[in-house]
Amino acid sequence: ATMLAADVMLILTGLLQLGKAGGAGATIDADSQERLQTYLHLLSSPGEEVQALCLVHCREVFSAMLRERAGQEEAEKPAKDVAPEVHRQADDLISVRQLKGGKSDTAALELDDDDDPVSSAAGAFTGELDFAARLKRVTQLTGLSDPVYAEAYVLVHSYDIMLDVLVINQTQEPMTNLCLELATVGDLKLCERPTAYTLAPAESKHIKANIKVSSTETGIVFGSIVYDAHGSTPPGGGENRNCVVLNDLHIDIMDYIAPASCSDLAFRAMWAEFEWENKVAVNTDITEVKEFLEHVMKSTNMRCLTPPAALEGESGFLAANLYAKSIFGEDALVNCSVEKRLDGKICGYIRIRSKTQGIALSLGDKITLKQKGPAC
């Protein structure tokens, strides 16, 4: 046994010297060097405690890690007995609303269930059909004292953003040639041209707009409502053209991100590969490191890859890896490293890495906005 241990120590020493010399084209990393030195220390001073550590305690910890990983994989597996839900039959009519003309076939319209994109998209989100959830997605676009009142209901459905804009004529004069003119900032694209409407006094109208999304980043929709008013005549004669500027609509990045999981090896590989990094300093009113981690996970809609066993116990510092995937297949990596100082406050950094700049900046802005506490 002693000769075998001596041979193993000779091999380990050779590996250390080769790694430090860099003869193989690359030097040894610090983690591998520390592991080899630990093995040399264990082989040079064997004893009952060392044997118990390697053969008993390490085996118990490894078994617990395997049980925990098997439980996570079992929980993530879809149920085999549940039949897949059929949303559309093979012979159902496919209707593209943007290609419909003013004189569409009446028979085809009777068979079309997708004429209202907002209603059909809302059907895909069963948790958002209640009134309280719909109110959270309503944004006021104009003031109550403006001649035209407008508010928008925003619904994100996969690659589409549906805007249902309610427009109310608050004057005593009719409005003609009323148009909702929108523009976008970011990877957003309008699919429809503005249509002119006529509103009688105190009349309301729902105007729908469809916007296509091509990447995961915070987009902005802005615009104005223009109309002809009959109440006053400009100096040149004719009708008076008026314009009401709308408030900006900020599209939330959280609508495109879903929690996902990956192996530790894949996380490290992506962390080393991705070039865009956003480093956010921790500035929060939360005083417990675990509570802060849960708040970051809830605010960013990400999953913690660090096993719960590694986060157990009372400690003044915490380091965890978070992971999420967008509907466009983009990966978002987050490393949260925080420490509780003597005065009770939490300090540290949250590092975000991604392949594209947009998702790294948008996630950083979201964390900066929400990290103060649950009330923010």
- Between residues 256 and 163, which one has the greater pLDDT? 163
Residue 300 near residue 257 (C-beta atoms within 8 A): yes
CB neighbours (10 Å) of residue 320? 20
Residue 118 has pLDDT above 50, yes or no: no
Amino acid 243 reads: C
pLDDT at 189: 82
User: Is residue 208 a contact partner of residue 191, using CB atoms and an 8 Å limit?
Assistant: no
> From CA 180, how far away is CA 221, in angstroms rounded?
12
Residue identified by tokens 């003031």 is 143
Whether pLDDT at 177 is above 70: yes
Amino acid at 273: E
Confidence at residue 167, expressed as pLDDT on a 0 to 100 scale? 92
The count of other CB atoms within 10 Å of the CB of residue 68 is 14
Phi, psi of 335 (to 5 degrees): -115, 120
What is the per-residue pLDDT for 98? 61
> What local confidence, expressed as pLDDT, does residue 254 receive?
77
pLDDT band at 117 (very low <50, low <70, confident <90, very high): very low
Q: What is the identity of the amino acid at 27?
A: T
pLDDT at 66: 86
pLDDT of 111: 39
Q: Mean pLDDT across the stretch 87-112?
A: 59
Amino acid at 306: T
pTM beyond cutoff 0.75: no
User: pLDDT by residue (tens digit) across 121-135?
Assistant: 433 344 444 667 777
Per the structure block, which two tokens stand in for 80? 């085999």
